[in-house]
């Protein structure tokens, strides 16, 4: 029963709102010691678990790094930088990011982007900065729409781009399915047929982003008119 002490440590640690990583680490060490494992074996087990789940570990480490960068003005610097580009608009910035995201995913570089790593700290602030540079202070609903379109650009680029990569899990799954039914296909044969869909997705979403610039202008003008009418009534 003593080896279950790790569960108690986790419950108490989370209840007292201690650092989750510290709580789990202490719980693991305590469980190992209660099970009469040598300290060397416990440390080795931690190392093996880290290596086996290194991609998850890197993702967990990414979040505090991004948070630290944001706290030190990453978003503000991105907005300030894009504000110097007069031709930049939210739609044009997101179209460029959509192209980069889709092209990178087609090459298997799916980690080159993402909501936590790119959209929140860089892409969305840059799109907001372009809109502020052109229209001034933005209504909250316009900011939220810009953030939503930034997130959708990442989703569309990743989803349709990775379908072209020959080592993508879904393509290998389809290859295995066809082989079970006597149809022999190479991954490249399947991936090639994802290209027309990826191109169509890029063109369709780029059109939406292009029209989004006009939507922003209409909403800001409507908001300005509403504010003017409200002030006149007062």
Q: What is the pLDDT of residues 51-73, one digit of tens each?
A: 555 545 555 556 666 666 667 77
Q: Please indicate, yes or no, if residue 57 is contained in any of the structural domains.
A: no
Query: Which comes out higher in pLDDT, residue 39 or 231?
Result: 39
Q: Are 152 and 117 in contact (CB under 8 A)?
A: no
Please tell me what DSSP assigns to residue 4: G
- Contact status, residue 90 vs residue 126, Cβ threshold 8 Å: no
Q: Quick one: what percent of the chain has pLDDT higher than 70? A: 86
Q: How far is CA 35 from CA 22, 29, 38, 214, in A?
A: 20, 10, 9, 66
Mind listing the pLDDT tens digit for each residue in 182-207?
Answer: 888 888 888 888 899 999 999 999 99
Phi-psi region of 168 (alpha: psi -120 to 50; beta: other; left: phi over 0): beta
Q: How many structural domains is the chain composed of?
A: 2
pLDDT given at position 7: 86
Whether 126 and 211 share a structural domain: yes
DSSP of 62-130: HHHHHHHHHHTTHHHHHHHHHHT-TT--HHHHHHHHHHHHHHHHHTT-TTS--IIIIIIIIIHHHHHHH
- Whether 117 and 201 map to the same domain: the answer is yes
- Residue 223 pLDDT greater than 90, yes or no: no
69: in domain: no
What pTM does this model have?
0.68
Q: Are residues 92 and 214 in contact, defined by beta-carbon separation less than 8 angstroms?
A: no
Same domain for 151 and 81: yes
Mean pLDDT of 106-127: 85
**Residues 140 and 81 grouped into a single domain:** yes
> Do 117 and 150 share a domain, yes or no?
yes
CA-only gyration radius of the chain, Å: 25
Q: What angle do CA 139, 144, 146 make, to 5 degrees?
A: 95
Examine the domain organization and report whether 81 and 191 are in the same domain.
yes
Shared domain for 79 and 186, answered yes or no, is: yes
Q: Are residues 207 and 102 in the same domain?
A: yes
The whole domain housing 19 covers 2-52
Q: What is the pLDDT of residue 98?
A: 95
């Amino acid at each position: 029963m003593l080896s279950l002490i790790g569960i108690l440590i986790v419950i108490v640690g989370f209840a007292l709102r201690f650092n989750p990583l510290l709580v789990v680490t202490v719980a693991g060490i305590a469980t190992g010691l209660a099970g009469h494992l040598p300290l060397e074996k416990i440390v080795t087990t931690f190392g093996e678990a880290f290596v086996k789940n290194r991609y998850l570990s890197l993702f967990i480490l990414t979040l505090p790094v991004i948070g630290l960068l944001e706290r030190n003005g990453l978003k503000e610097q991105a907005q300030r930088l894009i504000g110097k580009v007069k031709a930049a608009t939210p739609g044009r910035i997101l179209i460029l990011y959509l192209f980069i995201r889709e092209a990178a995913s087609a090459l298997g570089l799916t980690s080159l982007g993402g909501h936590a790593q790119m959209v929140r700290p860089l892409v969305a602030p840059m799109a907001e900065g372009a809109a502020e540079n052109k229209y001034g202070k933005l209504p909250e609903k316009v900011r939220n729409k810009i953030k939503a379109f930034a997130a959708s650009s990442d989703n569309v680029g990743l989803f349709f781009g990775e379908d072209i990569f020959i080592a993508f899990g879904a393509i290998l799954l389809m290859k295995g399915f066809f082989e079970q039914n006597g149809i022999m296909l190479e991954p490249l044969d399947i991936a090639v047929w994802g290209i027309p869909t990826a191109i169509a997705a890029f063109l369709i979403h780029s059109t939406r982003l292009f029209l989004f610039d006009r939507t922003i202008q209409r909403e800001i003008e409507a908001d300005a008119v509403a504010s003017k009418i409200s002030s006149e009534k007062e």
